Amino acid sequence: MHNQIYVHQDDHSNLTGDDLAGKVLRYIRYAALIDTSGLSVMAFGRTVVLSGHVSCKAEIGCIEEAAASVIGVHLVENRVEVLRL
């Protein structure tokens, strides 16, 4: 059986903290289709802080846009950097 990583039943506007951070990370995986293994999401109230690294600069904007579109998120602080090899 296929395990869904994000479902619309998760769209509660009153989530904060770890619940909101988890929802945002699941939505980034679902919507942006980006490897999130180097990504960290924290939420303080309804403010989400993205940190870590991605493989290219275009992914930074994609994850920020996905995070901002999650119901309940009021502000996104993006601290993500491109991983330099």
Domain ranges of the chain: 16-82
CATH code for the structural domain at 16-82:
3.30.300.130
The whole-model pTM stands at 0.84
Distance CA 73, CA 85 (A): 32
How confident is the model at residue 78, as a pLDDT? 97
In this structure, are residues 21 and 48 in contact, taking their beta carbons and an 8 Å threshold? yes
* Cα 74 to Cα 23, 50, 53, 62, 67, distances in angstroms: 14, 14, 23, 17, 10
Q: What percent of the chain has pLDDT over 70?
A: 86
